[in-house]
Structure 1
């Protein structure tokens, strides 16, 4: 089974497409180069602060980067314990909607 795609893989694609080094990106968005490297290597997630910086630099939205991170985390959680959670937790009675 293939694991969830880390947002760092998407960032690596942006770097390749625009022919930008990790170091240049880090300097341009005012973060330590190690942060960019760890994201690209899949060892660090994208925080809201980093998402804002990447969005400004690449002309995307911060939500784009946060959705990538959220999707990765949710898929990873499902892979780790989704079935166990389904066994352990009984859904609220159907027909009732919970809000808030």
Structure 2
């Protein structure tokens, strides 16, 4: 079931970080600061690789992080106007 108006995973990452800076967190998970800052600010997506890194850092599952990204993406895509699509039948 899709979530209504889900937050970008970056907002949740920011909460998980607490007082830890993006620079410190980036060093611990092995990415550059700019990459992590872009995710935290909502300018970039959580990739499968980033999901595994976040899971290891926060003691969660990669499915949590990637699932949040999918929910966010589906919500954004649902707001785009599309042409009528005819159903394909065999």
Computed over aligned residues only, the root mean square deviation of the Cα atoms, in angstroms, reads 1.9
User: Between Structure 1 and Structure 2, whose CA radius of gyration is higher?
Assistant: 1
1:30 corresponds in structure 2 to: 30
- How many angstroms apart in 2 are the aligned matches of 1:65 and 1:36? 14
Gaps of 5+ in 1: 94-100
1:46 corresponds in structure 2 to: 46
1:8 corresponds in structure 2 to: 10
- Structure in which a larger fraction of residues adopt helix: 1
Where in structure 2 are the equivalents of 1:70-89 lying within 5 Å? 70-81=70-81, 84=82, 88-89=84-85
SS at match of 1:80: coil
User: Which gives a bigger RCO, structure 1 or 2 (Cα 8 Å, sep 6+)?
Assistant: 2
Runs of 4+ in 1 over 4 A off after TM superposition: none
Gaps of 5+ in 2: none
The total of aligned residue pairs comes to 87
Q: Given the two structures, how large is their TM-score scaled by the length of structure 2?
A: 0.85
